Amino acid sequence: MCSFGDFPKIDAHIHFNSDQDTILEVAESHNFDLLTINTEVPAFPSIDKQQVLAQKYRHHSKVDLFYAATVSTKEIFRDDWAEKTIKKIKKDINNGASGVKFWKNIGMSIQKPDNSFLMLDDNKFKPVFSFLEKNQIPVLGHQGEPKNCWLPIEKMTVKGDKEYFAKHPEYHMYLHDEYPGYWQHINARDNILEEYPNLPFVGLHLASLEWNLDEVSKRLEKYPNLAVDLAERIVHLYYHAAENKDRVINFFRKYQNRIIYGTDIISNPTSNPDSVKRDLEHRWTTHWQFLATNNKLNSEEIDSSFQGLNLSSSILKKIYRKNAIEWYKL
């Protein structure tokens, strides 16, 4: 078995949004490099500020902080949006960005002048995807939500989702028929994969198909330039492992070159550094127990206990580092 501390790793999905170095300190002590993903979340600092922070902390002692840029949708309905966006992406790539994030506000909140929802496969985005495909710039796609979001609270599979959607009814799509359904988001994303077969695309959060690994596999088979990350969805793998551990192990074996580790830890200006540190160390150590050992495990997120996957060190090296380096060209 490999030892956690000695193993060089990358957490390829964090949000480094505040001017303090807690995450970098913790990363150094646990042998992690990091990729911060700029995202147009209303509660985050502006995209420009996120980018400035990523560049400011690019090298910190032994830790590399890589970053992915994102598109601003502020002027999305102007005719020159695509042209300006491509110009900005060129600049971001020259400034060290490793890819471009498309967030779930596309599909879940932006409405067109006719009140319909702007989906990822809208013509608006096509010149941008053509440019990204032509230049082999990776897209980081977060479309939709976990399928639990479209289920009543009592049917949701993991406790984090139950708590989150109980607290945020405005995001609980089961209550909002007027919004696009789960499969509309998945289909819009799949249409892009179909239309741009050479576009390197990382489906964040298990490509929003966390509820069924066969659905993830189907797309990995169909789209050779698709990879997935595990950010904030490892708990769903606990759930699958409790049901059938071997199926989860087979998934990792089969797609060992296309799965990227990440936590989705967020440090905002208002975050308490001590709780960020505790949360991050908790995630890193429990995920390692799950992926790298065969210990019997429990999680507050699900009712049943489950066993660690005990993945081989060559698979762990890929999931924890090599795949991020290759897919994001770090």
Query: Contact residues for Zn ion (CB under 5 A)?
Result: 264
Q: Which residue is nearest to Zn ion (CB)?
A: 264
246 Cβ contact list (under 8 Å, min separation 6) = none
Closer by beta carbon to Zn ion, 68 or else 137: 68
Nearer to Zn ion, 142 or 147 (CB): 142
15 or 124: CB nearest Zn ion:
15
Is the separation of the CB atoms in 185 and 204 below 8 Å?
A: no
Closest to Zn ion by CB, 70 vs 323, is 70
DSSP 246-291: HHHHHHHHHTTTSEE----EEE-TTS-HHHHHHHHHHHHHHHHHHH
Least distance CB 15 / Zn ion (angstroms): 6
Cβ atoms 182, 146 nearer than 8 A = no
User: Shortest approach of Zn ion to residue 79 CB, angstroms?
Assistant: 31
CB of 234 to Zn ion, least distance (A): 13
Q: What contacts 183, CB < 8 A, 6 or more positions away?
A: none
Residue 227: burial class (beta carbons within 10 Å; 0-12, 13-18, 19+): buried
Q: Is 101 helix (H, G, I), strand (E, B) or coil?
A: strand
Q: For residues 13 and 172, which CB has a smaller minimum distance to Zn ion in the complex?
A: 13
* Cβ atoms of residues 209 and 222 within 8 Å: no
232: its two tokens: 């904030």
Pairing state between β 306-307 and 296-297 = antiparallel
Closer by beta carbon to Zn ion, 210 or else 264: 264
Least CB distance from residue 208 to Zn ion, whole Å? 12
End-to-end CA distance of the chain: 27
